[in-house]
Structures are given as C-alpha cells and as structure tokens.
Amino acid sequence: MNDKLDDETYARAALTYLAEPADPCLATLLRAHGAVVALDAISTGRLPAIAEAPRGKRAMESAMVRWRTRLPLLPPPDEVLAFREAGIRLIRPGDPEWPGQLADLGDAQPYALWLRGQADLRFNCLRSVAIVGSRAATAYGSYVAAEFAASVATRGLAVISGGAFGIDAAAHRGALGADGVTVAVLACGVDTPYPAAHTELFDAIAAQGVIASEWPPGLHVSRLRFLIRNRVIAALAGGTLVVEAGERSGALNTARHARDLNRRLMAVPGPVTSDLSAGCHQVIRDWQGVLVTSAAEVAEHLAPVGHLGIGQTGDVQDLNPRDLLDLDSAKVLDAMPRRGGLGTLRVAQRAGLAPATTGACLGKLATAGLVERCDNGWRLGRA
Amino acid sequence: MNDKLDDETYARAALTYLAEPADPCLATLLRAHGAVVALDAISTGRLPAIAEAPRGKRAMESAMVRWRTRLPLLPPPDEVLAFREAGIRLIRPGDPEWPGQLADLGDAQPYALWLRGQADLRFNCLRSVAIVGSRAATAYGSYVAAEFAASVATRGLAVISGGAFGIDAAAHRGALGADGVTVAVLACGVDTPYPAAHTELFDAIAAQGVIASEWPPGLHVSRLRFLIRNRVIAALAGGTLVVEAGERSGALNTARHARDLNRRLMAVPGPVTSDLSAGCHQVIRDWQGVLVTSAAEVAEHLAPVGHLGIGQTGDVQDLNPRDLLDLDSAKVLDAMPRRGGLGTLRVAQRAGLAPATTGACLGKLATAGLVERCDNGWRLGRA
C-alpha cells in the first residue's frame, strides 16, 4: 500500500462504519453505482436512480436513514490511514490480498476486510480448513480440535476459526503450536479482541497468522454479528470441519453456510451420550457431511482438484486454488517446469515477468504450498 | 412336533453332525438330491450322479471322505428325538418356525437349526435387529448396547446377538431387562454354552427368548465357527447395528454379511480417540452404513415397507415381514379388519380357517407385533 488512500478504498472503509455487513439495500446500491457513489449518496442523503431496485424505494429510503445515522462515527481518510501504524490494513475486492472465493457470497460479499497480522490472507486461504465448534467444548472436543489443527497445519493447510472459547481457541492454538498459519475471523474490530481473555492468543495469531474482520477497529461484538460473521469463515475456507456442536450451536450455522457454498463439509463423531456431539452427528446423518476421524482424512478431502492420487475419485471441493491466483502468480505457476527446479531468473524469463515480481509471486506460491524451494531454485509443490 | 422324526428332519439333523455349515459340496448334493439321499450317500459312501457339479468330482470325493469320518459321531434317530426332553428342538427349511429370510443365504443356508428357548424364532425375527460389537467393549459401548437393546425391545423388536462377552452380552441383557425377546445365535451346541461364564445369561435367554445354533448339541466353538455363524445373525435380522468394533473385529464380519444381504446396516459413532469405535466409523464412512444415535432411529430404519410415515422416503430394507408369514398366518392377517377389533371366531370365519388354527396364528402374529389384543378380541397392531 502507498501512503494515500484511493477513493474506492476509503469509500469501502467508510461503508464498514456505516452499514452492517450483508445489507441487501447497500448491495443494490453497490451493484448499480459502486462504492464511491454509494458513500457520496449516503453523505449527501440523495439517492441516485437505481434501475434495478428489488427492495423497493421505501426500503432504500429507510436504509438511507439507517446509514446516515452513523455518519458522525465516520473517521476522515487520514484517520483510516493512521490505522496502518497500529498494524491494521484494509483490503477490498480487487486487492492482491483479497480472497477471490468471497465472491461466492454474491450480494453478501464483505464490503472490505480489516486485517491485522503477518500472513497473507488470500494465499493462506487457498489451502485452508475452517475448524469450528462449541464454546463449551469438552476435554475430548478440545483435544481433537487442537490435534487435528496441528496436524493439518503441518500438512500446509491454514486453520480458520472464529477466535471464541472452546473449539475455536483449541484449533487456533493447535495450529500455532505446530508453527502453522491460522486465521481468526472476528465479529468485532481486529483491535478490540473478544473475548478479552484471548488478548494474548490474538497477539500470537497476528504474529504468525492473520486476524480478519468486516467491522472497523473499535467495534464490539453482538449476537447477530457472530451469525453474520460465520458466512465469511465458511466462504474463506476450502472446507469446514465441525468438531463438537450441540444441536443449536452457532457452529452449525457456519456448517450450513459451508454446505450452501458447496464447500467440503466434515464433522468429527463423538459419543452418542454427549449432547455436544449431537450437532456433529446431525451434520453427518442429515446434511451428507463427511465423517472424519483423522487430520489425514481432512487433508485428503481438501486435496485440490487435479492433485488427487489414483483411486481417489471425484467429489472433491469445486474450489481450485489456481483459479484464485492473481494474474502474475498464475503466470509464474504456469512457467514452472513439470519436473525438476529452476532459478528465479529462468522462471521470470519463462513467465515474461520482472525478476522482482517473480520472486514475490514465488514467495506467495510457496506459502500456499504450490511451489517449494529445491537445490537449484524452485520446483512445483508436492501437495 | 409329533413324537417321531420324519426322514427329512432326521437327515438334516444328521447333516449338522457330519458337515460344517455352508459346505459348498454338501450344498451341491442337497440341491441335486435333497437331504435324505445326501445322508444315504454319505452313509453308504456311494455318490449319486450329479448333473451339475461345479466343484468337480475330486472335490466331492474328498468331501465324502471328510463327512464319512464323522459317521461314528452320528446319534440314531431316537437319541436325536430325546433332545426334546432337554428342551432342545430342531427346525428345518419348510417348518413353521423356519425363518424364511435365511433363504437369502442361498447355498450357505443352514441345513437345520437347533433351538432352545420359549420364543418362536420365525415370528420374533420378523421384526428384529442384530446388535453386535467387540468382546472387549468399553463402558461406553456396553452402556449404549444395553440402552439401545432395551429401547428397541420396548418397541417390539427382537434383539439378535452372538452371546459373547462385551457388546453381545450387554445387548442380550438390555433386551431381557426390558422384558423383550432376545435371540442368541451360538457357534456351539445350544446346551454347551460358550463362554461358560454366560451359563446363567443363556438360561435367562432361553426362558424369555431363544438360543439357536447350526451345530448339534454337545459341540464346542472354534474360531472358524464364529465367522461362519455370523452370516446367520446378519440374515436373521432385519438390520445389523454395530455398537463398538475395532478395525479387525469379528463384528465387522457380521456387518459385511448384513451389507451383502441387503439388510439395513447401522453403526453407533464414538470418540475418534477410541480404537473400539474405529470399526463403527469405517462402517459409516466406507460402507454407507447409517449413523444412528438413538434406538428411535434404529427402529425407524427398520420400519417395515408400507409402515413409513409421510416424508420418510424409500431406501428401507427390502424385507417385508408379511412376505415371511406362513400361509395360515397370512390368511389370518388378511382377515383382520382395518379398523376395530374382532373375536377369534369371526376372524376364523373371515379367514376360512379352524378356530384353533386361527387362535394359534393370532398368537404368533401378536408376538410379531402385527396384531394385538383389544376389548372385543383382536385388532391390527399399531406398529
């Protein structure tokens, strides 16, 4: 990022202050006129003409009142820019770090994402699994979540979760303990950790992974926000694993989103005598979720298309990480030889890109496990 | 039974002494000439001509040597008859108590079955579930087996198992405790209980249910006999439920038979950290077994065709208990009014049967839950 905010970025940052995520009226406005015009409309109170207004004029007017109510909370561009000094960055659709798979959310795609942490969100989510479950986890559930998270992290998958007590925390900690990357998607500002008891955990996640939120810094959680947030966890990850969940657990809400988004849905069985496994059994029995008993099975179910071994037939996630690459990285990946390794300069020549750009792309591709270092430079990853 | 053995019954009793169950050469001989000629052939050592002899002449001759080796062990007809005084009866294909579904075993159908106990084998197996699992069960497995068995027994299903330590014993005891019917299919003589520690359990089963075996009284178990026996458990029951099983458990052998026989296959999940649930998870994950978490689900999956509530679509067991009724019982069932009750005499008139025959049939139908007593006589069961 440079040291000025472009209009589109500021407009989208502003919208995260003015509207709650997945607001259908704002989606209509964005689709018709883009973020800059939308922000201008809210600021001036003058609705531009919208040919397609499925919600009706009255709904749009009432939304306008709602959005304008928050105008006093909106910081000016230089204050938004100042968050960078606190290690907080904003990404929006089209940015290199924007995870393309969020487009699967359609009108409910986030307006922008606030991030805090070292890891690249887009590249780490290319090979990732959401591990979710109950806050009131049992010792069994916490053990399994930590164990599976550590093991999939070792296999190069990022572990995505919601930063809550119980299964979420066990999953994050398991990935961190295995020196893996973990992503916490919060329902509050990335600088306003909830629960507060997880302040140290969030710092550790920021140091080794990344914290993401649709809400601007300083915002607090609400019950509804947890539910809205869940669709982002499901959409970011290649698949969702439910470790322990009661029949009314919020984790089942995430699972439902994963299913509706055609992501791989998995669940860990447990004792039928445990209420906290009832939701997992429901996922397996009624939602065609896959019963998994080991991290190896999780990794197998998330194998990218084309990387399956012989005998492992179809029925894998529709999401091909290669489809989510930015153009330069895709060129670099295409330029890699099928066998053996190449130096960065040779790759740059084959890809038709500058060596510096090629080096940056190789780094990102390596993070996603698509290439790896070898004696004479770089080669395709063995994933 | 009368107090003489007919030739066919004696011949089949004799074959249980001379050959191990599911002997393909004996099946060939039986199909071509029947049991009486087969026994005569073994006694005289002269093989009759067999047009279809897929196993070849040499195999048949070697089988003959094998069978004739056991001739000295064969008791004469009056000794076989004398078992009745010890409460042991023999049933053979075509007998009123013979469970017709055993025909699904084809050439591996038992030659005959030795029985000990009060309950009618055929009628009780019409609505039944096999509950099987590991001998070295955990407290969790034993609890679930007993609980599920008691609960399905209360719903009028007979619980079939193998009389072993662990899950088998818990299932039998659960059914007995709920005043239900339970069937133990042993791999030894019905008067030679194995394990010996279960002598009292077997007596309780005989008093309230029935013990069945393909092997004649006095015979002891062997490892191979357990495996051969398992197909009978799977074939007798409308479905098989695996409660706890390691990955190499004999219970998975029973489960495999149930699947191959198109019986409903179910398994109870457990902790992924327990080796004894690994076999259950395998059944659910790899064999399309149904994950069940309650006895109600077991009963639902075993609902006879035509008794399904609205919204419960297809995919139930092919076995319709009505198809397995003997002709008289089927006539009686057909004669029952759709609504309200009738006295035995009126049912007899409608069915065109003698009142005594009708009364006997009503008793059997009631055991199977197909009819029940009411104020003015009998009415259709509410199952």
Out of B278, B290, B291, whose CB is closest to A293? B278
pLDDT tens sequence across A321-334? 665 677 788 878 88
Q: Which amino acid is at B281?
A: H
What is the distance between the alpha carbons of residues A90 and B190, in angstroms, rounded to a whole number? Answer: 77
What is the three-class DSSP state of A160? Answer: strand
What is the distance between the alpha carbons of residues A173 and A51, in angstroms, rounded to a whole number? Answer: 49
Identify the residue with better confidence: A203 or A310: A203
Identify the residue with better confidence: B90 or A304: B90
What is the distance between the alpha carbons of residues A152 and A299, in angstroms, rounded to a whole number? Answer: 6
The C-alpha of A178 sits at a distance from chain B's nearest C-alpha, in angstroms, of 20
Subunit contact B269:A284, Cβ cutoff 8 A: yes
- What pLDDT, on a 0 to 100 scale, did the predictor assign at position A69? 87
Token digits of residue A104: 């699967």
Count contacts between A and B (CB, < 8 Å). Answer: 55
Who's near A175: CB < 8 A, 6+ residues apart?
A: A149, A150, A152, A153, A158, A159, A181, A182, A209
CA-based diameter of chain B, in Å?
A: 65
Helix (H) or strand (E) holding A227: helix A223-236
The confidence band for A5, taking pLDDT boundaries of 50, 70 and 90, is: confident
What are the pLDDT tens digits along chain B (383 aa)? 456 789 999 999 999 999 989 999 999 999 999 999 999 999 999 988 877 655 678 888 888 888 888 898 899 999 998 999 999 999 999 999 999 999 999 999 999 999 999 999 999 999 999 999 999 999 999 999 999 999 999 999 999 999 999 999 999 999 999 999 999 999 999 998 889 999 999 999 999 999 999 999 998 888 788 889 999 999 999 999 999 999 999 999 999 999 999 999 999 999 999 999 999 999 999 988 999 999 999 999 986 533 333 233 333 333 456 656 777 888 788 888 888 888 888 888 777 777 788 888 898 888 777 888 888 889 988 75
Helix (H) or strand (E) holding B227: helix B223-236
Out of B140, B144, B272, whose CB is closest to A269? B272
Whether residue A381 has pLDDT greater than 90: no
Out of B271, B284, B285, whose CB is closest to A270? B271
pLDDT tens sequence across A212-223? 999 999 988 877
- What pLDDT, on a 0 to 100 scale, did the predictor assign at position A291? 97
Q: Which of A16, A27, A31, A21 is nearest to A230 (CA)?
A: A21
The C-alpha of A269 sits at a distance from chain B's nearest C-alpha, in angstroms, of 6
Out of B272, B278, B294, whose CB is closest to A144? B272
Who's near B229: CB < 8 A, 6+ residues apart?
A: B21, B162, B185, B186, B187, B213, B214
Subunit contact A293:B281, Cβ cutoff 8 A: yes
Region A22-41: mean pLDDT is 94
Q: Which of A318, A166, A325 is nearest to A242 (CA)?
A: A166
What is the distance between the alpha carbons of residues B81 and B87, in angstroms, rounded to a whole number? Answer: 11
Residue B267: strand pairing partners: B242, B291
Packing angle, helices B24-44 and B7-18, rounded to 10: 110
Given a contact cutoff of 8 angstroms between Cβ atoms, the answer to whether A346 and A377 are in contact is: yes
The confidence band for A339, taking pLDDT boundaries of 50, 70 and 90, is: confident
The C-alpha of B258 sits at a distance from chain A's nearest C-alpha, in angstroms, of 20
The C-alpha of A259 sits at a distance from chain B's nearest C-alpha, in angstroms, of 18
Subunit contact B272:A293, Cβ cutoff 8 A: yes
Model ipTM over 0.95: no
- What pLDDT, on a 0 to 100 scale, did the predictor assign at position B314? 34
What is the distance between the alpha carbons of residues A120 and A91, in angstroms, rounded to a whole number? Answer: 11
Measured between beta carbons, the chain A residues lying within 8 angstroms of B291 are 269, 281, 284-285, 291
Who's near B360: CB < 8 A, 6+ residues apart?
A: none
Subunit contact A144:B268, Cβ cutoff 8 A: no
Q: Which residues of A touch chain B, with CB atoms under 8 Å apart?
A: 140, 143-144, 268-273, 277-278, 281, 284-285, 290-294
Mutate to test the interface with B, among A293, A300, A312, A313 (most CBs of B within 10 A): A293
pLDDT tens sequence across A158-215? 999 999 999 999 999 999 999 999 999 999 999 988 899 999 999 999 999 999 999 9
Token digits of residue A286: 């009624």
The confidence band for A316, taking pLDDT boundaries of 50, 70 and 90, is: very low
Tokens 């007998």 label which residue?
B95
The model's pTM is 0.76
The confidence band for A242, taking pLDDT boundaries of 50, 70 and 90, is: very high
Q: Which of B281, B185, B287, B288 is nearest to B227 (CA)?
A: B185
Given a contact cutoff of 8 angstroms between Cβ atoms, the answer to whether B172 and B153 are in contact is: no
- What pLDDT, on a 0 to 100 scale, did the predictor assign at position B337? 84
